[in-house]
Structure 1
Amino acid sequence: MSTNPRGQKNKKYAYAAAIEWFRNRETSGLLRINYSSVTHRCQAEIASFSDTIFDATWGFPETTSENNVCTGHDGVFLVSRKYVDDYVASFQPQCLRHSISSGKEYSLDFLNFKVSKGATYERVLILPTVNIESFLKKGIHLEATSAASFYVAVTRAKQSVAIVLDKPGDSKLPYWYP
């Protein structure tokens, strides 16, 4: 979406607008878009969950996972706040948050979503924003920039993603319990 968010050149094509720019040129016959829809990093449940982060109207292809490793704790889970310390002790995930202003109630070694871009971890624990909570609880799609940030956080994990959330709302994600 954007490799340099501070760049001023072609600012009207920043973030999600870049996709439209490419799709318009494809429609005009100027280029062909080839999607890379296979992940070797994320196991299948993580790949499937990550596909739901962007609204289906964006038209991204379904992701296929080539990670067939089974560890006994694989997939995407919710974790109640009261069990965060137990989860961290059990699985040693990389803890991720949107910004330095979030997660102050925890004494965890957090990385911000954007800082984690490009990294790979066995497991991640995500402290969600209010908008991410609405996505999980009510299925309210995230705006483009928030979706991209959350996607980066989720897809850092190879085997498991845990998201801190006390009340699941309509979420079908299973809870982890110690």
Structure 2
Amino acid sequence: MKNYVLILSFLLLGFYSCNKEDDAFAPPITAENTFSCKIDGELFVPKDHGGFIPLYGYLIEILEDNSWIITLSNGKNTLYLFIKKINNTGNYEVFASDGDQDFLYNEKTGMEFTDNGNNIEYISLNNSENIEILSYTNGQKLILKFDKIVLGSTTNNASIILTDGKLNINKETLNKDQ
């Protein structure tokens, strides 16, 4: 009987000590080199740095006009943010994206999301809500947030809702400790 109690105890302890990805927590906006948002209510947090054109992690490209291309991935899904010509704090309206994920010729701020598990791409639409730039330093630091942005599928009528988004990036320290 003792053996059954011990085995049952270890099994229960094992179940309760497992870390589920769903149990991840959203980092505070004050934490440097972090991003989080909810996608249809589920938390999306990129994993630590995982390579170029990330298999997972953060990839930041800053263009000459201080436009930021930000790629965020958790290994399953990838979120692309493009913020055109950051020149002050305040609101930057999100417009329709063309779905090409490189943003090099885009004239307006946009977002894209790739659901790799279901092979579905979503793009920002015209009349989306704003991204609020809270703080920035040209070519180095960016802190932003957004409350709600709707992205539409490129293949069907489905959409996803991104809420509670927050990003704090410092290019000088990003991936230095990894």
Give the TM-score category using the shorter length.
under 0.3
| TM-score for the superposition, normalised by structure 2 | 0.25
Larger radius of gyration: 2
Structure whose residues are more often strand by fraction: 2
Counting helix residues as a fraction of each chain, which structure ranks higher? 1
Q: TM-score, normalised by structure 1?
A: 0.25
